[in-house]
């Protein structure tokens, strides 16, 4: 079925959600977003979270003066974003759709009603916040202590999925700019690093295809 014909209401019942998240999504307002649409703008105030029913979202921060961005992560079906601002503070990052996406939009008041009906969801929400705080801490540590190659290697090792022939491949095609956003450097730096790795026989970078890791990446470059 074409994505444009997906019934958002049916997605609430068929998407792979936990029982508690599905119950919360039923209370939300269903919204469609086109590729590139910005759902959350860093620094603004809001009291809503978004449950992904179809598509994918990218969480990122930017620096207006340098026009550079860093990607904190991508989230797909079953995930939710925006929970960090439910305390009334400013949004800590921006969120944009990287493909056509359907979400259930849940306000703070709706979440409060859901917690009153299903108080056990508070533990799931707390666990989500803690996990993301840990990821943010590890990301900051990596940026502070690793050079560009070290950060790129860590990212590729994290994303690489085993294949039957013993190699690993990224689950999707990522541009050099997207990789640069993830590791906090310039696109040119990523291009240079991948070119060196390709010449060394470590990766296969075929235009238009997902990156393949042919053998374990060296600890230093």
pLDDT in tens, 63-81: 655 567 788 888 899 999 9
66 close to 22: Cβ distance less than 8 angstroms: no
If one looks up domain 146-213 in CATH, what number appears?
1.10.10.10
**Is 137's pLDDT higher than 80?**
no
Segment 139-165 shows an average pLDDT of: 81
Cβ-proximal residues to 120 (8 Å cutoff; 6+ apart), any chain: 20
- The residues of the chain that CATH labels 1.10.10.10 are 146-213
Cα 130 to Cα 94, 115, 126, 133, 137: the distances in Å are 19, 18, 6, 5, 11
More confident position, 136 or 102? 102
pLDDT for res 4: 43
143 close to 150: Cβ distance less than 8 angstroms: no
99 close to 57: Cβ distance less than 8 angstroms: no
Q: Which CATH superfamily is domain 3-144 in?
A: Jelly Rolls (2.60.120.10)
C-alpha 25/C-alpha 39 separation (Å) is 17
- The residues of the chain that CATH labels 2.60.120.10 are 3-144
Q: Give the single-character DSSP code of 45.
A: B
**Is 1's pLDDT higher than 60?**
no
C-alpha 21/C-alpha 138 separation (Å) is 27
pLDDT band at 47 (very low <50, low <70, confident <90, very high): confident
């Amino acid at each position: 079925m074409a994505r444009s014909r997906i019934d958002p209401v049916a997605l609430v019942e068929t998407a792979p959600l936990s029982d508690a998240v599905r119950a919360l999504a039923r209370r939300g307002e269903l919204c469609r977003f086109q590729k590139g649409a910005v759902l959350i703008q860093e620094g603004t105030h809001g009291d809503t979270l978004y449950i992904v029913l179809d598509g994918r979202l990218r969480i990122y921060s930017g620096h207006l003066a340098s026009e550079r961005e860093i990607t904190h992560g991508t989230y797909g079906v079953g995930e939710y974003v925006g929970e960090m601002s439910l305390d009334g503070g400013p949004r800590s990052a921006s969120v944009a759709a990287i493909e056509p996406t359907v979400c259930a939009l849940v306000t703070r008041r709706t979440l409060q009603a859901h917690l009153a009906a299903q108080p056990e969801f508070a533990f799931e929400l707390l666990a989500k916040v803690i996990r993301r705080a840990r990821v943010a801490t590890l990301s900051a540590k990596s940026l502070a202590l690793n050079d560009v190659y070290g950060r790129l290697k860590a990212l590729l090792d994290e994303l690489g999925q085993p294949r039957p022939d013993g190699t690993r491949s990224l689950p999707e095609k990522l541009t050099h700019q997207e990789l640069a956003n993830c590791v906090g450097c310039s696109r040119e730096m990523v291009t240079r690093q991948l070119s060196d790795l390709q010449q060394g026989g470590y990766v296969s970078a075929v235009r238009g295809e997902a990156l393949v890791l042919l053998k374990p990446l060296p600890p230093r470059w």
